[in-house]
Structure 1
Amino acid sequence: MQQSQPPEPPPQLEPFQQSAALSLGVELELQLVNTHDYDLAPYSDEMLRLMAKIPLPGSVVPEMTSSMIEISTGVCHSSNEVLGQLAQIRDALVRCADKLNIACVGGGTHPFQQWHEQRIYDRPRFRQLSELYGYLSKQFTIFGQHVHVGCPDADSALLMLHRMSRYIPHFIALSASSPFVQGQDTQFDSARLNSVFAFPMSGRAPFTLHWEEFAKWFAKSTRTGVVKSMKDFYWDIRPKPEYGTIEIRVFDTPLTVERAAALSGFVQSLASWFLNDQPFVPQEDDYMVYTYNRFQACRFGLEAVYVEPATGEHLPLREHIALTLEQIAPHAQALGAAGSIDMLRRSAEVARNDSRWLRETNAREQLLAEMVRQAAERFRGRG
């Protein structure tokens, strides 16, 4: 008679590593398109082979489908350093893409690709996700920017996470670049996040301000067998204990590395304000308006309505962005991020984000492929 094997112990939450407070790391998921009709092109293997020969900061890795590629910076200490690293990687990407007669493009969605034509990249984790999530895996051919910010300790990370949650609509509206899906204008500024919400482990982190309590919650979750690690959570913001950071995941990939760096400067300046001024203590009740504010920002971008969680006041999101940028201006100045804040302030003042640029370009050209071509020119630093 065969003896039964003892059950495997549930995974343990990794200890929260030390990192430099307010340090930054940025990841960008990018589109690879052919230069014939500007549809997605499955060239990630070829790009990775060429990029591996070039000494660069950070890393370049595959993503879920083979028409995507992810670049990331190393640990940075300012948005200017982020920009320097992203620009260096961008320039190498452009050179490699030119050799393959393809182009790299920003934006949160490709405007007319057909999800069923995409190929899952051949990696064990991607194959497992494809088996679990079925067609959703191919529909996950969407492109986001993730910003990591260093936290001094685990409890500070949870406090930072829940404070940042009030500013999720600001991040969405300022980065929105996904108005088109499957050849149609969705009427959303960020349609990308609708795809993320289809996954069962999306949404927001549980409300706790102490790492010990969070570890207990994680242990309960892993005992169910539904999740095995923090990677299984697709939350808008999640702790990354192995890096000593929190990771903000709601940004669409911008059309330019300059805007990507500016958004990291916004995050860093907010984090400095939180750490140094302790402007408010987050509450579970903050999340009563969370989903509404998130939807407004996805749907209307910089023309959204924002409900202030503490007071319930309704005001234009653009006004709250302007107020926030004013509050954090001294911190931005001290961090060398004043230029980043100015770029975002001007954007909010005229309600102009990348989604608006894409719509205006398509209205002028009347051809989505030409819009993608011009977006590729913007990514490479032209136009």
Structure 2
Amino acid sequence: MLLPKGYEVEVYTGTPAGEIVGLSHKIVADLDRFVREPDSRNVEYTTAPLCSYERLLCDLVRPRQQLREYLHGLGDYTLIPGSSLSTGGSDRFYRSDPNHPYHNYIEQTYGTKVVTASVHINIGIDDPELLMRAGRLVRMEAPLFLALSASSPFLDGQATGYHSTRWQVFPQTPDWVPLFASHKHFIHWTEEQLALGTMQNVRHLWCSVRPNGDRRPYNLNRLELRICDLLVDPLSLLGITALLEARLLQLMEDPSLDPLVVPVGESQERVQEKLVALTRENEAAVAKDSLNAQLRHWQDGRVLSAKAWIEELLQQVRPFAKAKGFHCFLSPVNKILQDGNEAQQWLRLYESGMSLQQVVQQKIQEMDQQERDLEDALCQMMAA
């Protein structure tokens, strides 16, 4: 049996010319499944937890098509790819709900650093201790998923020098988050942060990976990978999800993959410090250079590129995906490694002489057509 999987997808709305326009107050009032973010220029939808990759693909595409049709009814509006305010607007916060106290805190504390678009991948794991172990492993390898998904090389009409401007500017909160040694550790740490005020509520844990559930930190049932930029290609998102699921299946068979194994002569506190520092360094490197970033492997300290590490990981997990019958969904990962991620593709167009606005406009058209083709080919077939 495959693990249940679901997504939280944030996406910008705007014009076909690439201008990002705040419309979430209208969208959430008229459409089910969509919820507002603190800034009105992006909106979020979620998919139900599903084991089937084919059904998951339909659940990804259909809400976006519904949203597109609704936006066309409002005027000349569409969905904007990318994970940063590429064409401008970071100088001002557009509140989606002026009366929401938490939104008020976010605006005053972080400003437009949080006005990004991303996708959060949730994988269902009921056993809280297995969930903590999975969180430790995925935290160490989260930079690889950012490397595959990077799609924010621009901000305010300029190339920033980063492949994921979103992750470079996004305020990770609290400043230091440990690898949780147990469910009890997670509960105690969360209660402590709430008491100290470093977290405003249980949702205010903004790091690459976190345990999630209906009553955090006590009742948990899923692992949430939060580091990914927005992948506008649903097949690429399924590929990255398949890589994550296969790695978790490997961990379930081989608990020795747990990073928090304390060597003789070292304290757990010291191991924690080294591992957290290492992955933060790797995250920063990937935010800048994505697949080309030089990283340090958490297991043996080797220095290798993100691309080379992902290629190694694919070889390790493919047997687990094949045993469960979903190895074909890993194929898009190979395509990303071959062709480059979204950020790299955008930058190639930009460096070839296209203006930033032309790049964004072309990607808007490609995103629209691809999802129409997918809906026609797959979703209608499954509904038959």
TM superposition score normalised by structure 2: 0.85
* Structure 1 ranges of 4+ moved more than 6 A: none
1:287 equivalent to 2:287? Answer no
Pick closer, same or farther for the CA change 1:336–1:83 going to 2, 3 Å.
farther
| Alignment correspondent of 1:105 | 80
Structure 1 SS opposite 2:257: coil
Pick closer, same or farther for the CA change 1:34–1:296 going to 2, 3 Å.
same
- Cα shift at 1:89: 1.4
Structure 1 SS opposite 2:179: coil
- Cα shift at 1:336: 4.1
Q: Is the 8 A contact 1:256 1:378 kept in 2?
A: no
Structure 1 SS opposite 2:78: strand
Mapping of 1:350-361 within 5 angstroms?
350=339, 352-361=340-349
| Alignment correspondent of 1:176 | 150
Structure 2 SS opposite 1:340: helix
- Cα shift at 1:138: 2.7
Q: Is the 8 A contact 1:147 1:264 kept in 2?
A: yes
Q: Is the 8 A contact 1:79 1:264 kept in 2?
A: no
Question: Which residue, out of 188, 192, 207, partners 1:216?
Answer: 188
1:263 equivalent to 2:240? Answer yes
The CA distance in 2 between the partners of 1:79 and 1:273, in whole Å, is 19
**Would you tell me which structure has more helix in proportion to its own residues?**
2
| Alignment correspondent of 1:29 | 10
| Alignment correspondent of 2:42 | 68
| Alignment correspondent of 1:5 | none
1:247 equivalent to 2:235? Answer no
Structure 1 SS opposite 2:162: coil
| Alignment correspondent of 1:15 | none
1:47 equivalent to 2:27? Answer yes
Q: Is the 8 A contact 2:153 2:160 kept in 1?
A: yes
Pick closer, same or farther for the CA change 1:75–1:122 going to 2, 3 Å.
same
Q: Is the 8 A contact 2:151 2:230 kept in 1?
A: yes
- Cα shift at 1:21: 7.6
Q: How many residues align?
A: 353
Question: Which residue, out of 81, 94, 97, partners 1:119?
Answer: 94
Structure 1 SS opposite 2:71: helix
The CA distance in 1 between the partners of 2:69 and 2:247, in whole Å, is 35
The CA distance in 1 between the partners of 2:324 and 2:58, in whole Å, is 15
Supply the RMSD in Å over aligned alpha carbons.
2.2
Counterpart AA for 1:303 = N
- Cα shift at 1:381: 3.2
Q: Is the 8 A contact 2:34 2:45 kept in 1?
A: yes
Pick closer, same or farther for the CA change 1:39–1:148 going to 2, 3 Å.
same
TM superposition score normalised by structure 1: 0.85
Say which is worse superposed, 270-279 or 61-70, in terms of deviation: 270-279
Unpaired stretches in structure 2, ≥5 consecutive residues = 215-219, 261-271, 372-384
Counterpart AA for 2:364 = A
Q: Is the 8 A contact 1:190 1:301 kept in 2?
A: yes
Q: Is the 8 A contact 2:149 2:230 kept in 1?
A: yes
Counterpart AA for 2:110 = L
1:333 equivalent to 2:322? Answer yes
Structure 2 SS opposite 1:380: helix
